[in-house]
Structure 1
């Protein structure tokens, strides 16, 4: 939906596939103006805990005419990360070699990790998030579950909102306002499923809102 929650601007569908110790998250978003996004992540279920760990991430953004706008990629094993964009007919590529902590996630895998943590009763959640801002970066993220539930006009029920912001220490006041942020809503009466939230589509891109479609009555 639009950032003010008044207009539907597109639809997103996520699918999780499992093959032995590998999980794949595929996300497809199609906007009514013709633009679309495609997200593909692989996670490894590491023994003995079998806690999902990110293996690779790729998120592509397309213009309404089908041409490529941007691609964000991260390979955890090699640490190679890249942020590619097409602007004014030119290709701009930023690459970095990152030291990727085991608790690193990106895109939908971050939400999946948060849901799992909430289902295990965790009230304090911390992890590292990958983002192009505008070059490849890993940010420490912390969030605390509020003491009380809230009502959200866009989805029924008593929900909990997590306000996720990068933790940059002494630089928070200077840099944090310019980095991607996300507010996410979870339903404790539906096994803590994610039901929607607000986020920047990409760095300095449009601020959008997702709302989960409630199951049919």
Structure 2
């Protein structure tokens, strides 16, 4: 099991939390590490297997990095849009996230929720208009190294999958509205054997992402929310789908890459 050492509490990331795919050998990173062709996903109810929406993600190179853009459209006319600004590291270092935004819309187009983080300044905003009492919280956060949000979390996870020694611990942090702005530590567990993932119909490797409570893990971790994601071991560990909640304390949904 690969764990982070910082104590913290995380929640299930939104449905698109592990979508960005990078290419290239580890540990060298370059502009080629930010290649992601336009990819479509079907969104399922994980309990019934019924399709409830569609998703589409693509990556646009910007010279010194890339912009991740994703849209999820639900059949009840709700939707969400995610953008992540990525910057290439210097001297072969991995790319890093520099700005993140994930906005959720009601069926009438009004904003239901929004999470935003400027990783250079630490300025973070969490908006929740879903209840009778609306919430708009802004904080200035200290951003640890190796901090990600939304789909960009795939970068450190794929780095772990490609590593010769998958048991090597690395600190990983994630930004989330839980419900106020927070930087949280996570742990990653990689299944030792590949298996056919039925919703996709092909071999996949399963990864579990969950909170890291430090020395309290033995007591609290079994009760904490977690994410399961699947990657293709035969195609550079490209992302195939996940089972997570759409947002903090939201409904569970499953993303499955269309073939």
TM-score if structure 2 supplies the norm length?
A: 0.76
User: Which runs of structure 1 show a deviation greater than 6 angstroms over 4 or more consecutive aligned residues?
Assistant: none
More strand by share: 1
Residue 67 in 1 paired to residue 104 in 2? Answer: no
Q: Which residue of 2 aligns with 1:151?
A: 196
Report the CA distance between 1:75 and its aligned residue: 0.7
Report the CA distance between 1:158 and its aligned residue: 2.1
C-alpha offsets along residues 109-131 of structure 1, whole Å, 9 cap, x if unaligned?
11243234423445246511111
More contact order relative to length (CA 8 Å, sep ≥ 6):
2
Alpha-carbon contact 2:105-2:111 (below 8 Å) kept: yes
Tell me which of 98, 115, 120 is aligned to 2:158.
Answer: 115
- The separation in 2 between residues aligned to 1:150 and 1:51, in whole angstroms, is 29
TM-score if structure 1 supplies the norm length?
A: 0.90
List alignment gaps of at least 5 residues for structure 1. none
More moved, 43-52 vs 167-176: 167-176
RMSD: 1.9
Query: How do 1:154-193 residues align onto structure 2 when only pairs under 5 Å count?
Result: 154-172=199-217, 173-174=219-220, 177=223, 179=225, 181-193=226-238
- The separation in 2 between residues aligned to 1:120 and 1:183, in whole angstroms, is 20
Query: How do 1:22-171 residues align onto structure 2 when only pairs under 5 Å count?
Result: 22-88=65-131, 90-121=133-164, 123-124=166-167, 126-171=171-216
Alpha-carbon contact 1:5-1:209 (below 8 Å) kept: no
Report the CA distance between 1:137 and its aligned residue: 1.1
Alpha-carbon contact 1:127-1:140 (below 8 Å) kept: yes
